[in-house]
Amino acid sequence: MDRYRKVLQESQVPVNPESIKKELEKIVEKLPEYRKSEVYAKIFNCIDLTTLNTTDSQDSVTGFIQRVNDFDNEYPQFPNVAAICVFSNFAGLVRSVLEVSGVKIAVVAGGFPSGQTFTAVKVADTALAVAEGADEVDVVMNLGMLKDGNYEELCDELIEVKHAAKDAYMKVIIESGALKEPQQIRDASILAMYSEADFIKTSTGKGYDGASPEAALVMCKAIQEYYEKTGRKVGFKAAGGVRSAEDAILYYAIVKEVLGEEWLNNEFFRIGASSLANAIFAKMIDEEEVKYF
């Protein structure tokens, strides 16, 4: 038995849908205590502000970055977003235009959104993006290898990508909407962490259902178990379809209730979104609707 199968078999992360549902119901009951201005500000500071459109261009991405620059100047009383997330070929552009020191440069790389390409391409894409200025690289786990049980090959590939990323964070996307079953979500999360992932991320937001509370709970439980076994903290990122302030509050609450206060900062908690930033900012300034980003 290889080491990865052994770790998966020993995992005590709950995967029974009924127990997951009951635990989520308890968390939902606590949501009123999370609806506070300071919580919205913390969530805003954990957003990976994202543009991943086929029509993205030098001009459109430059304008996107400039809004983040402007926010820092116009609203210095508030924390800015955690990162700007773009396609890997725009890493250098973000590095040249971004003026806010506290905002990271994140990219999607390695055959995004399918993860189906040569390992060498994934490694090269990651290395090029980091050389151009990327602080963080979001890559998709090869779900074909996962489905076939090729765990050694799957993990070796992710480790190779992480080594290409060097000091940059590697966020591994498990595409929970494609996996669907809690056990597969748990297994993918565990394998990603044992492959040196700095974050595990729910979804690409492309082609499959995005983040779900059920997947988030399983992933956070897996992070908790991994931390107890290894002492290494891994972050959690919800992405895909997280659009409303209420959605964001729920993911924040799941992280708090499962992992605790230590995870409630942008070093260990992120939400990948575009329209969400406006919804959260509206809550921060007590407005019905805001269209800033």
What residues act catalytically? Answer: 138, 201, 237
Q: Distance between CA atoms of 148 and 140, rounded to whole angstroms?
A: 16
Q: Distance between CA atoms of 110 and 145, rounded to whole angstroms?
A: 15
Q: Distance between CA atoms of 214 and 15, rounded to whole angstroms?
A: 10
Q: Distance between CA atoms of 237 and 255, rounded to whole angstroms?
A: 10
Q: Distance between CA atoms of 284 and 269, rounded to whole angstroms?
A: 19
Bridge partner list, 273: 49
Alpha helices in 82-172 (DSSP H): 91-97, 119-132, 143-148, 151-165
Bridge partner list, 235: 199
Query: Residue 104 — φ and ψ, nearest 5°?
Result: -80, 160
Q: Distance between CA atoms of 285 and 264, rounded to whole angstroms?
A: 21
Note if the bond before 113 is cis, omega within 30 degrees.
Answer: yes
